[in-house]
Each structure stands twice: as C-alpha cells, then as structure tokens.
Structure 1
Amino acid sequence: MLFNSPSFALFFPVVFVIYWFASRKSLIFQNLILLIASLYFYGCWDYRFLFLLLFSIGLDYFTGLYIGQATKVSTKKIWLIVSVSVNLSFLGVLKYYNFFADSFATVLSGLNFNVTPAFLNLVLPVGISFYTFHGLSYVIDIYKERIKPERNFIDYAVFVSFFPLLVAGPIERATHLLPQIQRKRKFDYNQAMDGLRQVLWGLFKKVVIADNCAEYVNLIFDHSDTYSGSTLLLGAFLFSMQIYGDFSGYSDMALGTARLLGIELLRNFAYPYFSRDIAEFWRRWHISLSSWFRDYVYFPLGGSRGSLGLQVRNTFIIFLLSGFWHGANWTFIAWGGLNAIFFLPLLLSNNNRNHIEIVAKGQVLPSLGDFFRIVTTFIITTFAWIIFRAESINHAISYIGGIFSTSLFTVPQIKPGYLLTLIAVFICIEWLGREEPYAIARLGYKWPRIIKYAFYYLIVIALFVFAGDQQQFIYFQF
C-alpha cells in the first residue's frame, strides 16, 4: 500500500475517523487502533511477513523487560547479546546471505576452487532494516539505562510498527516516540493542517519530481552503453533529483500523516542539496540513519576521540556500514567508501563542523562563495549516486567512463522537456522555504488568503497534470 495509491486514500480516512471519533476518550483504544491499522498496513505488502514483524516486536519487548529486571551487569549483557544477535541474524540471512554466498564463491573461483553456492529463494521483507533498528535502539537504550523498559505491550508494539514510518522510516527512538504513545492525543487543528501541507508537498516531490525523473533515469542507466556522455551526465543529475524527491517525499508524507494523528516524528531531511560540504550533507540527508550510526556505533567506537588513525578507522566503519545497510551489493559498499574519502579531508583538517546553520539564513541569495560550495558538494554527491544506482561495480565504472568522453560536450540524446522546468520550480520553492521543517510550511503564510490557497491548489493540479507513472519508493528495498 503506497502513500500515493488509491488504497491508502481509502485506508487512511477510515483510520483517521475511527481514531479521532470512536476512540477520542480512551488512550487504550487510540493505541489499539493504531496497532491494528499498522499491522493491516504491513500485511497489505505481504501478510506472510507479519509473523516476522510480530516476532521482532516480541523479542525486543521481552529482552527489554529482562534487561530492566536484571540485577547483574553480566545478565543484562547476555540479554542484550540475545536481542542483537537474533535481530541481526534475521537481517543477515534474509538480506545478505545470497550476497555473502556469491562473494565467497567468487573468491574461491579466483583460487581455482569451483564452488556452487546454495542460494535462498526468499523475498526481502519490506522495511526490515527500519523496524530492526527501531528495536535495537530500544534494547540498547535500556541496557545503557537511558530509558526504562515499556511494560505495556500494545504501546511498545505501536512504537515499532507505527504505519507511517514502518516501511521506510524515519528510524525512531524510544526516547522520542514512546512518550507520545503513552499519553492521550487530542485533535489539534493547526497541527493537522500543518500535516496536510507536508503530505501535499511530499506527494509533489514523489509524484511530480521523482516519478517523472525515474522514467528517464531507468532508460538511461539500463542502456548506458548506447548514450553519449552528456546524456549519461543528465541521467546522473536526474537520479540525484529522483532519489531526493522519492525519499524525502516519503518522509514528508510519513511526518505529515503522523501529525494528522497527533504524533510528531523525527525529521529525516533538512535540504541536503543546499549543503556547503559533504559533512553538512550527511547531517541533512537521512538524518535518522546517520544519527543512529553516530550514537550506537561511532560514539561507542570512540568517535573523534583518540589518535588520528582511530578517527579515520571509525569514519570508514560508519560510512561502509551505512553503505552496506542499504543493500547486498558491492556498489553500496563502494558508495559508502567513496563518501568516507570525501569526508576525510574535512575530518583531518578539523573542518567537518564548519556549516551548522542553514545556508544564507535570513537572505534571499547565497554569497558567491556559498554558491560555489553548494554546487561543488552537489557535483561530488551526484558522482557518488552513480555508483549507488549502478547495477554493479563494472556498470558504475563503464557509466562514469562514458561521461568522461568527448561526447560529454554534445547535446544530450534525451530531452526531458518540461521536467527540467518542473525541477527548476521545485528547487526554487525548496530554496525559499529552506529555513522551515519543509518547504511550504510557511511559504506564502502572509499572502492574501485567496493567493495562498491558489498556490496550494496549483500543487494539487500539478499532481494530476504532471504525475509520472507510479513507481515503487526506492527505499522500500532497504
């Protein structure tokens, strides 16, 4: 069930009405309805994987209780190991077994050993990386005594399975979401309207920008050996716009939908393509994942403390793990490693926290220096996205080699027409709204009422007039 599908357009109003009107006097009913709706939502993808989701919920719920009740550190550690090992085992087998088996066989064949690996014919459960990380952070936080275990099973189950974030994040923390689940929500008109605006902008990003870009990106990447360097460069640019529109669009819809239910989720994007260096980009892109690795892997490894060698090691571990989290392909690992290389000069020169505030805050235009830095960061980010999108390392090398050829200076063979105009308008709106949680949160807020609502209606019209062919959300595969 996609956020931009007719089935969700039927599903959510029913949940909304029952949630606010049939259960408005009872917290228990509110959470029970959220749990039932979330399990139904997940079951619509593949009901067979409901068991895995429920098993993961039960595993972390009970291990959390056992850790909280234990009086010995050794006992706490045993239950932590049980939770982490079982969770990662499921994730490893379902997501990475075939990758490791194939890689191992390739290595052995290079040593003149012929091995035929046994592959598993399994479908990857949608959202498994996201809800696994929800549970892991909860158990680790209990072990570190940052939170106490939740004894209400329904409340905990809602925290893990809350349907707006279940299949593609953001990756929530128990410290942030559980307190909201534990208290009764009252309908807030302003919060709901804010949520509707964010859903609308998320739909525009996904339906108008990402889905239209996807048609050209798929064509160019799938037949990259037949296109000129300029066309391949265009394909790389369009993929940068596709993945941002697709994933940040999903996050906007998730956050907006949650607001309609009286719940605030963690922000996942903060205008990453307006970043002035790669460190700022990673503070603004997929924030919930970056912060998860920072808090649960990078800091425990020592972070930026210790010798220079340890800092470099920790940086590469984080970026490689981030790449590997995205999927079982060497392209993702190479993409993570390349971003680590981009990040390293900033770390070594102690310039990785130069740009904390949003660019050109309070100004209409950036300075020439900031504009140059934004363009440079976007170029190297787009270069890395080529490896991320490629089918294999060889495909990535071939694609990049095709760009850096004499045909780079020719007219692209594919002309996206009005799509480039739509992207330009999209970038302008994002720029004007860059100081807000999402681009149209306050844009036009002080305009005359008729003009403000005409702007919203234009976005709605664009959803129908310029909608691309419906595409699966990219991050559903992760």
Structure 2
Amino acid sequence: MLFNSFTFLLFLPIVFLLYWFVFKKSLKLQNAFLLLASYVFYGWWDWRFLGLIIASSAVDYFCGLKMGDLSISSNTGHRASDNTINQEPTTNNQLSWLNGRNLYLTISLLFNLGLLAFFKYFNFFIESAADLIATIGFQPHLSTLNIILPVGISFYTFQTLSYSIDVYRGNLKPTKDPIAFFTFVAFFPQLVAGPIERASNLLPQFFTKRKFEYQQGSDGMKLILWGLFKKMVIADNCALVVNPIFENYQTASGLELIMGAILFAFQIYGDFSGYSDIAIGVAKLFGFDLMTNFRTPYFSRDIAEFWRRWHISLSTWFRDYVYIPLGGSRVSKVKAIRNIFIVFLVSGFWHGANWTFIAWGGIHAALFIPIFLVGKNRAHLHEGDHLLPSVKELFQMLLTFALVCIAWVFFRADTVGDAWGYLSRVFVNPLLPKNFVWLGYDIRIALILFLGLEWVGRYQFNWLARLEGKWFRYPAYITTGFLIVFWGVFTEVKEFIYFQF
C-alpha cells in the first residue's frame, strides 16, 4: 500500500478512528489492532511476504527471551560493552554463559542476514561468480532464480537485528509481550522504508498508555503534508525528466546530463525524505515518536556533515553495530581507514545487489577519508542561526552538492559502465538542443520554492513548524495542499524509490 495512493487515503482514517474510538480503553487491544492493520498494509503488496516478516519477528522474539533467561540464570550482572558484540571470557562460568548467549545471537544474525542474502543477493553472487570464472577462460552455466524481492526486507531485518544485539549486549531487556514485539517489527508507518527504528526507542512506546494530543496530531499532519509535497511535486516531476535522460544518456548533451544528475539528487531526496516525513507524521497520529531521518542534507558543508544529515537511521545503525565494534576511530589510522571503507561499502551494498551501489559507497568513503585524516570530520557539528550562508559556506555547500551528484550517477545508473559513460559524455557536445525543455515553468518555481522553504525550516522538522502561532499558517497549509493538487503527478501512482531496497 502506497502513502500516495487512494487506497491509503481510505485506509488511514479508518484505522485512526478505530484505534482512538474503539480500542482506546485497552493498550493491548490497541497494539493488537495496530498489528492487524500493519499486516493488512504490508500484505496489500503480496500476502505471501507476511510469512517472512512473521518468521523474522518470531525468531528474534524467541532469541531475545532465551538471551534474557541466560542473563538472569548467570547471576553475574555482566553487561556487554557498547563497543563490541563479543567479549573475552575471564572465568569458566562466563565462558558457559557467553557461549549460550552467543548461540542465540548467532541464530538471529544467521536467520535475518540469511533472508537478505537469499532474497536480495543470491542472483548477484551467482552472476558475479560466473563473470569471475569467465575472466579466466571458462564459460560457466550457473542458474539463477526468479526471486521476487520482498518489499521493505532490508528495513525490518535491520530493525529486528538491532533488538537482538542490544539484548545480547545488555542494553535492553527482552520483551515478554509477543503482540508488542511483533507490532514493533511490523509498525506500518515505517515498515517498508524506515526510519529504521531502534528497539530502545520504539518498543517502550508500545507499553506506554497513549492519549491523543492535539499538538502531536497537528505536527503529524504538517509532516504528512510536506512529505506529500516532496514526493508528488518535487520527486515525481523530476522523475519525468530524469528517467529519459538516464535511459538515453548516449545521445544526450553535456548540459542535459548535468541537469539529469542534479534533478536526480532532488528526486531521490524528495522521494525518500518525503516518505520519512509521511511515516513520522502518520506515527504521530497514533501517539508514537519516530526518529528524524533527514536534516536538510544538501545544505551540508562537507561529506561528513552530509552523512550526519542523510538517512540518519541507517548511518547511525552502521556506526553503532559495525563501525564501533570494528574499533571505530580508536585504533590505528590504517585500521580506522579500513573501518570507514567497510562501513561505506556495506552501506552501499545494503541498498541493492549491484556493483553500482558498491561503487557509490566507495566514492563516499574516498571523499570522507581525507576529511577524517586531517581531523575535520566533526568540523560542522553546529549550525549558526543566520538568515543567509556566508560566501565560504555557500561555496562549501555547492562543492559538497556537486560531489554528491557525481556519486548519485553511480547510484542511479544500471551498471558501473553506464555511470562512467554518463559522466564522460558530460564533456561531449555540452550545448543543449534547441527543442529541449527540461522542466515546466511551474515546476521550476516549485524547485526554487522548495529550496527556500527547506532553508527556512532547517532548524525544525520542517518549515511548516515555524508557522506555529502565526496568523498566516492556515493559508500556508491550504496553499501547500493546492500546490500538491495542481503540481503533483497524478497520471500514475509512483512507488517510492527505496521500496526496491
């Protein structure tokens, strides 16, 4: 079920009304109803995928309970380190205890990563092996499978993995309520494209009595409104230009290719951050607070700042569960560089079974490492509350945006060869053809308006929040709605880009 579909327009108010007016007296009934609604929402694509998410939930629920039981029975009070999953045992009792807990953590890791490996990467590994064998003169005939990628599998498997790891580390007590846990995994607003919530943040909210609050509901509606604008006006209109350019880059002029790369940057940001805004907004309507996933990343002054602002739930996941366990930056420079490359390459590979995503991750690693080596990776932790950027800041933002756009070409291209071909043709025949119209006049205005409003709202969850208490807030809301109706793409319901991941 898509947020920008007529089906969801009917689904949301029905679920909202039943949740607050029929099941409000019982927290357990609310959770059970949310679980049912979430399974309907997810099963709308293909009901067979429900078996996977239920299985993933059941395995991690069971493993969490077993790790909790072993922790209590050990009676050692041991708390695993935040910096590593595995600890060296010091006594025979600890050895036995850790081996038991390791077993259930391993089951969780193997099951969830096994699901990803099969459904997302099986054909990639087969085809890559065949290509490698072909380079030494053999012509292998390795069979691939017609595997359908379950929507959202990368998101909910990482969410359940964080639960298992946190329980293992002793950072989180396992829940004994299966309904609450299964609902945490399947919670429909953020199920298929994030944010990837930590159990420590979201799971306790299923045990807290919820009461509808006007301000929280109002904030949620603003996020939904702005998210729909990002998706339907910005992302979907940019897609109408971006797709033909990337599909026919061999015949495009240099300026067309530059425009295609820039507009794809706006497309993927509008699409993905738009989904996150809607997800966070819908969650607020049901009394839940999800983590912020984007913070105006295209105003970043270097790549390090960009990654503190882009897909925050994923970048912090890899920081806490991959980078820090590897030693983070508290190791030698050589090992720190190794850790950075691993995190960026794995982050790229998380997005899909294609060398283009690995190349995209590698480019970002190569851009990040020089900043890290000179100790400037945390230079822009704070923003100044000023109306306009300085000349220096503007230059830094434009340079960072340009580098990000180059990397996006690899992300969007079908193959690494296509990405190199796309970039190399930028310098061939740079003039635009006379009959080329890259965007309609109204959409050009929308892009300029979008950039201005993003800058205005960069200190809050969106610019609409800054209108609180001002007399013109309602005209602003209505105008935004009208812009979605008149400028949005309604000819076909377009899926969100990150559904494929």
Q: Is the 1:127–1:168 contact (alpha carbons within 8 Å) kept by the matching residues of 2?
A: yes
1:363 corresponding residue in structure 2: 386
CA deviation profile, 1:344-371 (whole Å, cap 9, x unmatched): 111000100000123xx32110111111
| 1:91-170 equivalence runs, <5 A | 91-170=116-195
Measured in 2, the distance between the counterparts of 1:153 and 1:199 equals 30
Alignment equivalent of 2:352, drawn from 317, 320, 327 = 327
Give 1:24 shift. Answer: 1.2
Measured in 2, the distance between the counterparts of 1:173 and 1:12 equals 24
CA deviation profile, 1:153-187 (whole Å, cap 9, x unmatched): 00001110000010000000010001111111001
- Greater CA drift, 184-193 or 431-440: 431-440
Alignment equivalent of 1:399, drawn from 388, 406, 422 = 422
CA 1:412–1:441 in structure 2 vs 1: closer, same or farther (change >3 Å)? farther
Measured in 1, the distance between the counterparts of 2:402 and 2:435 equals 18
1:473 corresponding residue in structure 2: 496
**Which secondary structure state, in structure 2, belongs to the residue aligned with residue 407 of structure 1?**
coil
2:463 corresponding residue in structure 1: 439
Aligned length: 473
CA 1:411–1:352 in structure 2 vs 1: closer, same or farther (change >3 Å)? farther
Measured in 1, the distance between the counterparts of 2:44 and 2:432 equals 48
Give 1:421 shift. Answer: 1.7
Letter in 1 for 2:143: A
1:42 corresponding residue in structure 2: 42
Residue 375, structure 1, aligned to residue 398, structure 2? yes
Q: Is the 2:35–2:186 contact (alpha carbons within 8 Å) kept by the matching residues of 1?
A: yes
1:20 corresponding residue in structure 2: 20
Measured in 1, the distance between the counterparts of 2:195 and 2:435 equals 37
CA 1:408–1:288 in structure 2 vs 1: closer, same or farther (change >3 Å)? farther
Q: Is the 1:231–1:414 contact (alpha carbons within 8 Å) kept by the matching residues of 2?
A: no
Measured in 1, the distance between the counterparts of 2:66 and 2:229 equals 46
Measured in 1, the distance between the counterparts of 2:144 and 2:232 equals 36
CA deviation profile, 1:374-405 (whole Å, cap 9, x unmatched): 11110000110001000001100110011123
Measured in 1, the distance between the counterparts of 2:125 and 2:356 equals 14
Measured in 2, the distance between the counterparts of 1:73 and 1:415 equals 60
Measured in 1, the distance between the counterparts of 2:109 and 2:66 equals 14
Measured in 1, the distance between the counterparts of 2:435 and 2:138 equals 46
Give 1:409 shift. Answer: 7.5
CA deviation profile, 1:209-259 (whole Å, cap 9, x unmatched): 000001111111011111100001000010000000000000000000000
Q: Which runs of 5+ in 2 are unaligned?
A: 75-96
Letter in 1 for 2:445: T
CA 1:65–1:391 in structure 2 vs 1: closer, same or farther (change >3 Å)? same
2:88 corresponding residue in structure 1: none
**Which secondary structure state, in structure 1, belongs to the residue aligned with residue 463 of structure 2?**
coil
**Which secondary structure state, in structure 2, belongs to the residue aligned with residue 59 of structure 1?**
helix
2:371 corresponding residue in structure 1: 346
Identity %: 50
CA deviation profile, 1:415-434 (whole Å, cap 9, x unmatched): 21222221110000010111
Q: Tell me the C-alpha RMSD between the 2 structures.
A: 1.1
1:430 corresponding residue in structure 2: 454
Measured in 1, the distance between the counterparts of 2:500 and 2:197 equals 19
Measured in 1, the distance between the counterparts of 2:336 and 2:435 equals 43
CA deviation profile, 1:402-456 (whole Å, cap 9, x unmatched): 11234158779332122222111000001011110223222x33432xx221111
2:86 corresponding residue in structure 1: none
Measured in 1, the distance between the counterparts of 2:363 and 2:228 equals 31
Measured in 2, the distance between the counterparts of 1:308 and 1:411 equals 52
- Greater CA drift, 168-177 or 112-121: 112-121
Q: Is the 1:224–1:399 contact (alpha carbons within 8 Å) kept by the matching residues of 2?
A: yes
TM-score by length of 1: 0.97
Q: Is the 1:227–1:413 contact (alpha carbons within 8 Å) kept by the matching residues of 2?
A: no
Give 1:117 shift. Answer: 1.3
CA deviation profile, 1:301-347 (whole Å, cap 9, x unmatched): 00001111001000000000000000000000000000000001110
Measured in 2, the distance between the counterparts of 1:34 and 1:192 equals 17
Give 1:25 shift. Answer: 1.1
**Which secondary structure state, in structure 2, belongs to the residue aligned with residue 168 of structure 1?**
coil
Q: Is the 1:231–1:412 contact (alpha carbons within 8 Å) kept by the matching residues of 2?
A: no
Measured in 2, the distance between the counterparts of 1:447 and 1:15 equals 31
1:249 corresponding residue in structure 2: 274
Letter in 1 for 2:358: I
Measured in 2, the distance between the counterparts of 1:408 and 1:56 equals 53
Letter in 2 for 1:431: W
CA deviation profile, 1:41-89 (whole Å, cap 9, x unmatched): 0000110110011000000000111111113111000111111011111
Residue 421, structure 1, aligned to residue 442, structure 2? no
Letter in 1 for 2:385: G
2:260 corresponding residue in structure 1: 235
- Greater CA drift, 411-420 or 39-48: 411-420
2:69 corresponding residue in structure 1: 69
Residue 181, structure 1, aligned to residue 206, structure 2? yes
Measured in 2, the distance between the counterparts of 1:291 and 1:440 equals 27
**Which secondary structure state, in structure 1, belongs to the residue aligned with residue 325 of structure 2?**
helix
1:211 corresponding residue in structure 2: 236
Measured in 2, the distance between the counterparts of 1:229 and 1:368 equals 28
Q: Which runs of 5+ in 1 are unaligned?
A: none
Measured in 1, the distance between the counterparts of 2:430 and 2:173 equals 61
CA 1:354–1:409 in structure 2 vs 1: closer, same or farther (change >3 Å)? farther
Measured in 2, the distance between the counterparts of 1:12 and 1:198 equals 15
Measured in 2, the distance between the counterparts of 1:277 and 1:439 equals 23
